[in-house]
A and B are shown apart, each in its own frame.
Chain A
């Protein structure tokens, strides 16, 4: 089945530094990937839609200059948290839309998530 690999799984950084999280589709091509943020005991909040070869689409309230998204190939999307601060500490999860089957219907396959802690 479709597998999405996310790296790193955990990262600790100092305030003011930047952190890059990678999301790879291992055995399929993903023209669209999604980045979510999840706070403890809360649901997934969509941050942005990453489109291969074009600019990402950000949800309302998400700072595009702070959360840089690059989708340079059909198997890789990256999220860079720039000038990170403690309030950016969270669980970041990527997903890719997987299409297939008779109907061409699609589902989302998620990476394992990246826990960011900003000191």
Chain B
């Protein structure tokens, strides 16, 4: 069953606004990955997090590994039309081989 929850499920924002989304779990993870998927394409890695409390940026994107190790956050500043897509979080448990994926947050940017 689904082990990761993402919030919000979808969001509509104005161009230029900042965006925040999160990923939560009832289990502890030791790796968090954030991906963006454009329609008809495979997911593309945005940011990887490996330590609790870690804060990592990639351009206008910033992601954080929650201190409890049960959540992660992704922020996008000054959104632009090409930010439109589905954002997935993925986590790997300690000792786990596979990553589990969240259901995604669908982002729409209005001009």
Q: Which A residues are closer than 8 A to B by beta carbons?
A: 4, 6, 32, 34, 41-44, 46, 49, 91, 93, 95, 103, 105-113, 115
Contact with A along B68-95 (1 / 0, CB 8 A): 0000000000000000000010100000
Please tell me if the beta carbons of B102 and A105 are within 8 angstroms of each other in the complex: no
In the complex, A6 Cα to B103 Cα: how many Å? 23
Q: Complex Cα distance A29/B43, Å?
A: 20
Which residues of A sit under 8 angstroms from B106, Cβ to Cβ?
Answer: 41
Size category of the binding interface on chain B: 20 to 34
Q: Which residues of B contact A (CB under 8 A)?
A: 31, 33, 35, 40-45, 48, 50, 88, 90, 97-99, 101-104, 106
**Complex: A93 Cα to B42 Cα, angstroms:** 7
Are the CB atoms of B43 and A44 closer together than 8 Å? yes
Question: In the docked arrangement, what's the CA distance between A28 and B73, Å?
Answer: 30
Given A43-B101, A108-B99, A112-B41, A103-B50 contact (CB < 8 Å): yes
Instruction: Please tell me if the beta carbons of B33 and A43 are within 8 angstroms of each other in the complex.
Output: no
Enumerate the 9 nearest inter-chain pairs by beta-carbon distance, A residue then B residue, closest first. A110-B42, A43-B103, A113-B42, A112-B42, A44-B101, A110-B43, A93-B42, A105-B50, A107-B48
Closest B residue to A1 using CB positions:
B45
Contact yes or no, B33 A107, CB < 8 A = yes
Closest to B47 in A: A107
Complex contacts, A46 vs chain B, CB 8 Å: 98, 101
Smallest CB–CB gap between A18 and chain B, Å? 23
**Shortest Cβ distance from residue B29 to the other chain A in the assembled complex, whole angstroms:** 13
Contacts of A111 in B (CB 8 A): 42
